Chain A
């Protein structure tokens, strides 16, 4: 039970459900849309958002198969991915308590992937361990989540959310990395209802992560190289000749704090202002029991402010969200020299000669969203969602004459959904368009693996692409439950000019998802 802290909550949800009321049945096929448009706090960091959920008791089971193809992807991602996922989630309201929980399992295969053997470290952590041999990765992920919100007093809401995410990946091509990762996140929150429609919230978060990588080499007649990246395509290598299994462990924590200030005018107008701050660290340590090599210390400080305005009436709901996020990522690298330690039986050891800031990245994001929901009897009949974001990133790499990378880019999307009802049947049809383009971009990086790694990575980040997506969901009511089928397809096509490499010219990315679901 200690290992799976959300189990009790979820068991409660899965097996302790009450009798559904008729109006709740009608909500079920569109409960996600209702939550997104109707819960002012649906995107808030504060888990007390659960208390304000307009969705009634429910249980959602789904299973899907995901197919991704195409060469328009990051350099350390795969052109061919197949994955099977299954999940169950639910929500149950009692007198002064509301609970929600979910369990999800995903089993996928990524073909011919290379350059990155990590699994769940931060996306912007520059201290990546990988090899250059294309390999087929089998990856399993298991996510467990539980939230409980409690209203002990008329003006006070207490909430707690627990997340446990674990994953494992491996491939069967020398050198064979085996990676196991874990995140355990605890998020407490409190909300004080001040009266007059005002409320003040405070939430915190603590994320404890760990990840371990080790390798196995079946055929020792070949020599392989492990790349210990430290940012902007810079790296230090070590071969299987020196360390066959080359183990690495990551450990890290993230502390998050958030303040919410909300006002609900009661006439369709409501506003939520939220400020968040997070501080994250992850340390890479290599060698296991054999030796200790410091693989780099990552830290990230981020903060952001967002405001969500909701207005409308019983027939129309509008949501406008604007936000600004900023982060600063720093990577500390240790210059180390090898020596044989006579006190440890001539064992290979490393001595730290110097350390300092090696990689620094600052990113600012301005984002804006608009969502419109047309309602009938409290249920959506049409939804429109438009979103745009502007990113400004600068990276400096402290090595030699100095290296840097900077870009600004915009990303936008518009998506419309129409909801049809025919007796016991419900159909949701969605169409969308998306695109991204750089405004400015430049980079000065080392020549080492520039053609194979650094340039393709930057070309993808700054790629100009357009795309679209379509989805159809069909549900039918059988007695007390809804059963459904869904299919989703999306396409991204590169239309850039190949500023840094022509590898992406003519490429696209296609994704197809087919699934079944049961709601009750």
Chain B
């Protein structure tokens, strides 16, 4: 009997202790809510027509919201005259672009970013984009097998009139690994671009270097035959970027040389980095030469808010751009834009040392001439991972 009582007491004691022990096991916080994990937010994109146009004049607009971190892309096409579109999206940071063709020569385009961590509205102010006469047809900046100097770019006259390359500037910006620090005191991006490394220009006084409609020129870093190394034959390049006093020895091949306007950090190669960056083509106002612009210290500045900044960047105003292209490292999920949306609203992915280029899409081929797409949006306008085709134009539309 005594043993039975002891057993009962011990059992009760254990049961009571176990109850206390498990009392806090379930916090009752069932976050599932029965929705199987769904977490969707509304992103409403409001479009504002370009200056001089009514909302009712808006063409059908393709609106794309990209969350590069989560690899999500949402695309909607609005009806003509529509000024807003709503997406159901996952939370995160979105790059929004809107593009629509108003006429055969005019495109409306705009871009914005939105941090969507609750239902959110984003405003995209559209700008009118007239086709640029000179555009990059192909950019090969990745190099192949670490040859480094096998890179080139090709510029095409995409207009129906003769264009002159004289004093046209080529410059590049480094790929950003963090949000763009080139902002003013209010955090707004500056309307001029910090060019890094070599800033080069075509020589000439105005009409010495004509480029016929549909024709292109290849600008090589080293104008030699790279085909044995797996890259392109650039021995017949039209121009070369020769830097006699570069940090690394440079050879002067047969192609005529560009003029070196500025060289921050004594670089050897013209163009963006192997893993991306921005590339711009610009022409200064009539009467101002690149060397005169470079002689003015007001056109240089160091990185804002950086106390130990010593590098003086060549600051190129956005208003002088003819064309701009932006590329990012394909392995990088987060992309930070260097170009203003009005100059270029997109990106093209590149893989460092892949030996591949990006090439502008061809919209049509007439009379053997290729017409290239130009909506000021690298994402839309360029094909990535392309074989090297310097001086060769596609014979059919993409």
- Listed in ascending order, the chain A residues whose CB lies under 8 Å from chain B are 194-196, 198, 200, 202, 221-225, 236-239, 241-243, 257, 259, 261, 263, 273, 275, 277, 301, 303, 305, 328, 335, 337-340, 342, 345-346, 348, 353-354, 356-357, 360, 396-404, 448
Contacts and interface: CB of A to CB of B under 8 A. Distances in A.
A305 to B, nearest CB: 8
16 contacts: A196-B6, A221-B274, A223-B332, A223-B352, A225-B333, A237-B334, A241-B275, A242-B177, A243-B177, A301-B27, A338-B179, A340-B178, A346-B178, A354-B118, A400-B40, A402-B37
Contact of A221 (B6, B117, B333, B352): B352
B13 A239 contact: no
A225 B68 CA distance: 14
Contact of A259 (B21, B91, B178): B21
A345 B178 CA distance: 13
Contacts of B249: none
B353 interface: yes
B178 A261 contact: no
Given A225-B332, A241-B329, A402-B36, 16 more contacts: A196-B7, A223-B331, A225-B331, A242-B177, A339-B179, A345-B305, A346-B181, A346-B306, A348-B178, A353-B115, A354-B118, A398-B38, A399-B37, A400-B90, A402-B37, A402-B39
A414 B17 CA distance: 36
B93 A198 contact: no
Contacts of B7: 196, 198, 263
B352 A222 contact: yes
B10 A396 contact: no
A353 B117 contact: yes
A338 B334 contact: yes
A353 B146 CA distance: 40
Given A237-B69, A277-B25, A404-B37, A196 B3 contact: yes
A426 B177 CA distance: 66
Contacts of B31: 356-357, 360, 398
A236 B305 contact: no
B10 A236 contact: no
Interface residues of B, number: 57
B332 A239 contact: yes
B298 interface: no
B72 interface: yes
A360 B233 CA distance: 57
A338 B35 contact: no
A328 B28 CA distance: 12
A259 B14 contact: yes
B18 interface: yes
Contacts of B37: 396-399, 401-404
Contacts of A448: 71
B18 A275 contact: yes
Contacts of A345: 305-308
Contact of A338 (B14, B90, B175, B178): B178
Interface in B339-398: 352-353
Contacts of A273: 14
Contact of B332 (A194, A242, A257, A301): A242
A96 B336 CA distance: 69
A200 B13 CA distance: 9
Contacts of B25: 277, 301, 303
Nearest to A240: B331
Given A241-B329, A354-B91, A401 B6 contact: no
Contacts of A303: 21-22, 25
A358 B118 CA distance: 16
A333 to B, nearest CB: 10
A261 B115 contact: no
Interface in B238-258: none
A259 B336 CA distance: 56
A398 B22 contact: no
A269 to B, nearest CB: 13
B303 to A, nearest CB: 6
A400 B92 CA distance: 11
A259 B17 contact: yes
A340 B181 CA distance: 6
Given A198-B6, A221-B274, A259-B18, A237 B333 contact: yes
Given A194-B10, A259-B18, A339-B179, A400 B115 contact: no
A169 to B, nearest CB: 24
B11 interface: yes
Contacts of B22: 275, 277, 303
Given A221-B274, A275-B21, A397-B37, A200 B305 contact: no
Contacts of A404: 36-37
Enumerate the 5 nearest inter-chain pairs by beta-carbon distance, A residue then B residue, closest first: A402-B37, A342-B305, A261-B14, A237-B333, A402-B38
Interface in B109-142: 115, 117-118
Given A259-B21, A335-B92, A340-B181, A238 B115 contact: no
Contacts of A396: 32, 36-37
Contacts of B307: 345
Interface string B306-321: 1110000000000000
Interface in B66-91: 69-72, 90-91
Contact of A239 (B10, B38, B331): B331
A205 B357 CA distance: 60
Contacts of A236: 69-70, 333
A237 B305 CA distance: 28
Contacts of A222: 352-353
Nearest to A201: B14
B39 A400 contact: yes
Contacts of B2: 196
